[in-house]
Amino acid sequence: MRPYIIIRYLGFILLLNALFLLISAGIALFNNDSSFFPLLYTGIVALLFGIYPLMIIPTYEDITYSEGNTIVISGWLISCVIGAIPYIIWGGEFSITNAWFESVSGYTTTGASILTNVEALPKGLLFWRASTHWIGGIGIIVFVLALLPSSNYSTLVLYRSEVSSVAMRQFKMRSKDALNIIIYVYVGLTAAQTILLYLFGMNLLDSVSHSFATIATGGFSTRNLSIAYYNDIWIESTIMIFMLLSGMNFALLFAVVIGKFSSVKKSTVLKYYLLANLAGILITALNVHGANYESFWDSLRYSSFQILSVGTSTGFANADSSVWPAFSQLVIIFFTLQCACAGSTSGGIKTDRIIIFYKTLMRNIKRTIHPNAVFNIYIDKQNVDETKVSVNNIFIITYLIIVLISTALLTLLNIDLLTSFSGTIAAMGNVGPGLGNVGSLENYSGLHYLGKWILSIVMILGRLEIFGIVILFFPKAWK
Amino acid sequence: MKLKIKILSGFIILAIMLLIAGSWSIYKLTEIGNTVENVLKENYESVNIASKMRHALEREDSAILMFLLGETNKADSIFSFADIQFMSQLNFAKKNITLSNEENIINNISVAYNDFVVSWQFIQSSSEIPKTNYYVKTLHKKFLEVTSSLDNLSLLNETAMYSTAVSIKDKATRAIVPGIVAIISALLFVLMFNYFINFFVVNPIKEFNLHLKRFINTRQQFDYLSPGKDELSELSESIRIVCSYVPPKSNSRL
């Protein structure tokens, strides 16, 4: 492994962060708020650290896959470190642990906050907090690659290291073209939502911040009561539509934009995603009707927002779901584990893997009946390679094992089981709110500091889809 | 990029990082110094004034008790002296209003003290009322009202001092953190800089030397390529050209 190549690409990542830090500092300066220096200073440090390797190290195009993987993981880690610095310098509720947690939660688009009073933050820092979502939403490396005029080979290596393996099935084009599609859809959705939210009465900063958080499926709000603060059906509907869109595979969204509806019509994953969410909304609405809300309209309004919010791993709230009946909470837990489609900005196990897992299960039942028959797994009439099926199922098992270990560690810190379990799956799936003490209108400030460190590791594992980060612990990967 | 610029830019970047962090820390420490000065000047002074007024008021109360015991002349002179002291401190307090509710409290002190003095003048001039009874029922209550207002003034300023101290603590943290960040950043940058110098300067020189020695001993083609596009790569290119003109070892004196 050649460290200088990794340092060079980290330079690009730092420059991307510096750009958003300096924009945030500009907003702080415009509003004359106290976050100006923390943002400016961190921006300058990131800029200097980013620019120097680019000045010194010449361009290398022959990146190996282990180097690509290291660039991606160290890129995420270094971004989380840089992202925490403005919080630490600014002070307030941010201790080192809290700042790290908030930064990791931002970049991994988890949206779990330690802040008890979000509205006390200055505008510059609120924008920076939302920016971490937007940078992390499509992946830091994807963002950098889309901006960089790098060779096809290095782009391919880094793209494969960053983008989920199950997502690539939908992107049947050159990696540079796939990156362009992702960027177009991402920026387009963000711009469209910002305009709509602004038209429905949000101020510009709130519109941009909530759009960043929605399209990145993050969930950081600029208000203590999240979306419940606005109590506006138009704002909620807009956010719901964009949450649903952000949970879809971006290649499919792009196909719709350019008028290719055939790929959308035959997409099993998309059909399952939409039907699962619809079913989840309806059964939750029926369950909370009478128990929490008098009218069915209210039940439908709150359940649809909450289910879509966790089902796309966004994490906004317009109601307190921790007081809902146990069955509704179980539905929320299911969607927190599953989340949305691969190739979107969503976290969690993802619907694609759930379908493959389901088909493997059905195949095993068929094999029990017909032991000598050969059954292949097909999705959208395409055969899914046996290695991918195996990796898929191992991923789900490893995912659940990590959830189990993290829950056990949190309970050792005297955190109740519901909070530990729901907090872990919310962190692992990059959803944000859980149940119990970390419910949709609560926050993570009350957790033990070790609990915050455990959950931040879980967030990174979830965002980098486990294996990439685990590989780094094997010395052979360093050769 | 030339070696000179590579090295110089490294030092410049390091200097910029330290300069910004240092300037910020100095700015924040100066701000803390100014805040401390303001606390001493404004809040502590008000607490001190309240204490002096209370002391003067207690002297006046003692003078009233002496008056009740029949020491009228002595009581009158002590009260007059204490009154001058009280009024002079009250005037200081009126000029040192720094907090939002402070003006109201000082007005309350002024009104309560005025009532107290009027009552004192009444007890002095009236010969018909039972003086001890009047003191217990009226004059002492007026005295307590003044002390209560003085306590409010002290409390207001002490609370302001406490909250300022808390904000100073926060400011001190904010002044320290950029310093810590600068130290860590500088250390990391020095490590990175050292790595680059090794990789792009020291190692190429070693390799260059190795290739040159090999050429001298064996006449094996000088084919060294420097990793960067700098003076070292230009030098290696020149040496390669020179070496290509050198005849095979048997015919050479090298």
Closest C-alpha among A150, A128, A165 to residue A46? A128
Three-class SS state of A261:
coil
Chain B contact set for A85 (CB, 8 A): 181
Residues A194-221: pLDDT tens digits?
Answer: 999 999 999 999 999 999 999 999 999 9
Pairing of strands A378-379, A382-383: antiparallel
In the 8-state DSSP scheme, what is residue A378?
E
Closest C-alpha among A323, A311, A302, A319 to residue A237? A302
Which residue type is seen at B19? L
Closest C-alpha among B208, B190, B227 to residue A5? B227
Closest C-alpha among B202, B192, B191, B195 to residue B232? B202
Average pLDDT, chain A: 89
Reply yes or no on whether the pLDDT at A148 is more than 80. Answer: no
Mean pLDDT of A100-114: 95
CB A422 within 8 A of CB A438: yes
pLDDT at res. A441 = 85
Least-confidence region, from A27-41, A339-353, B1-15:
B1-15
The answer to whether B226 faces chain A, any CB pair under 8 Å, is no
- Interface pTM (ipTM) of the complex? 0.75
The answer to whether B179 faces chain A, any CB pair under 8 Å, is no
Strand-pair partners of B42: none
Contact assignment for A52 to B227 by CB distance below 8 Å? no
Mean pLDDT of A420-432: 94
The answer to whether B7 faces chain A, any CB pair under 8 Å, is no
Q: Give the burial class of A37: count Cβ atoms within 10 A of its Cβ; 0-12 exposed, 13-18 middle, 19 or more buried.
A: buried
Reply yes or no on whether the pLDDT at A414 is more than 60. Answer: yes
Write the residue in A41, A52, A85 that is nearest to B9 by C-beta.
A52
The answer to whether B10 faces chain A, any CB pair under 8 Å, is yes
Name the more confident of A116 and A253: A116
Q: How far is A153 from chain B (nearest CA, A)?
A: 21
pLDDT at res. B175 = 73
Residues A18-72: pLDDT tens digits?
Answer: 999 999 999 999 999 989 989 998 999 999 999 988 888 877 777 787 888 888 8
Q: Which of A160-164, A239-243, A430-434 has the highest mean pLDDT?
A: A239-243
Q: Report all structural domains of chain B as residue ranges with CATH numbers, in order of start.
A: 3-185 (1.20.120), 186-251 (no CATH)
Mean pLDDT of A391-397: 92
What phi and psi values does residue A145 have, to the nearest 5 degrees? -65, -35
Mean pLDDT of A360-389: 88
pLDDT at res. A154 = 66
Residues B153-193: pLDDT tens digits?
Answer: 889 888 888 888 887 777 777 778 878 888 888 888 889 88
Reply yes or no on whether the pLDDT at B118 is more than 60. Answer: yes
Question: Angle, nearest 10°, between helix axes B45-68 and B102-125?
Answer: 10
Q: A58 to chain B: nearest residue by CA?
A: B228
Write the residue in A7, A55, A91 that is nearest to B6 by C-beta.
A55
Q: How far is A57 from chain B (nearest CA, A)?
A: 7
Which tokens belong to A393?
Answer: 């199922």
Residues A315-324: pLDDT tens digits?
Answer: 999 999 989 9
pLDDT at res. B127 = 75
CA gap B12, B4 in Å, rounded: 12
Apex CA A381: angle with CA A378 and CA A387, to 5°?
Answer: 35
- How many other CB atoms sit within 10 Å of the CB of residue A404? 12
CA gap B209, B253 in Å, rounded: 19
Non-local CB neighbours of A380 within 8 Å, separated by 6+ positions: A266, A267, A268, A269
User: Sign of the C-alpha dihedral, residues A325, A330, A336, A342?
Assistant: negative
Helices (H), B39-139: 45-68, 72-95, 102-125, 131-134
Name the more confident of A275 and A180: A275
Q: A36 to chain B: nearest residue by CA?
A: B24
Apex CA B187: angle with CA B185 and CA B192, to 5°?
Answer: 90
pLDDT at res. A208 = 96
Which tokens belong to B38?
Answer: 């303001």
Contact assignment for B174 to A49 by CB distance below 8 Å? no
Confidence of residue A309 (pLDDT cuts 50, 70, 90): very high
Reply yes or no on whether the pLDDT at A400 is more than 90. Answer: yes
Closest C-alpha among A268, A249, A272 to residue A377? A268
